[in-house]
Structure 1
Amino acid sequence: MTASVEDLARLVVDCGFRLHQNLGPGLLESAYEAILADQLARRGIIVERQKPIPIRYDGVELAEGFRADLLLNGQLLVELKSVERLSPLHSKQVLTYLRLLDLPLGVLINFGGATFKEGVRRIANGDLGR
């Protein structure tokens, strides 16, 4: 399936909403990740789980400095949480991953909140028109 990053973002939010609606809060993050990855793959999306994110600095490279929860079609980062409420640190984490992977957009989803809407954030890395 060929989709723009915006199409992917809409799809992941829709699938995440349905997942939260049907299962509710309280599961482990890994359970939401596995189910969401399956739901997206069934829609023809290339899903990479626990994608290594290398860090390069001053001649040193750490091949697996971080791990992104999901990378969709090589162009949209999805970071999942299952906590009572998101903190500013979670958004900074996603922005760091976007910068390291040179991606324009990420979606942060928290499945731990009472409502789905309070736990969804779009995080842009600079100009989305690039």
Structure 2
Amino acid sequence: MGERAGSKIDIYDRCEVFANLVLTLTDGVALDFKSRPLIGQLVRSATSIAANMMEASEAQSDRDFIHKLSISLKEAKETLYWLRILRGRKLLDFSALDEVFTEGQEIVKILATIKNKMVAKIPTT
């Protein structure tokens, strides 16, 4: 299930660091009628990735782990969507946004790989 081991930064910590990167990225954005909901959605989806990974770490079964990890994966993909929208609106610093976007893409790949390996491990009866 959701074991936290490894010499490199693990995915749980990486998701938390990513959430903080997004929070830092959005610091100082001028909030108006249009930008407030966009920034809010970005912050909610980005912070939800790590929150759901914490729940996955306490999963009661492999299926429960996959379910919670799948929610994190969906939230990570949603975060990339909001970053693309905000890039188009030119509301965020481009250089910092590109770094955060790249990290988000990496997290999506890692979560998808973990999910696929876990799904393959479960017998289909």
Q: Which TM-score applies when normalising by structure 1?
A: 0.31
Q: Which TM-score applies when normalising by structure 2?
A: 0.32
If asked which structure has higher relative contact order (CA below 8 Å, sep 6+), I would say 2
Whichever structure has more strand as a proportion of its residues is 1
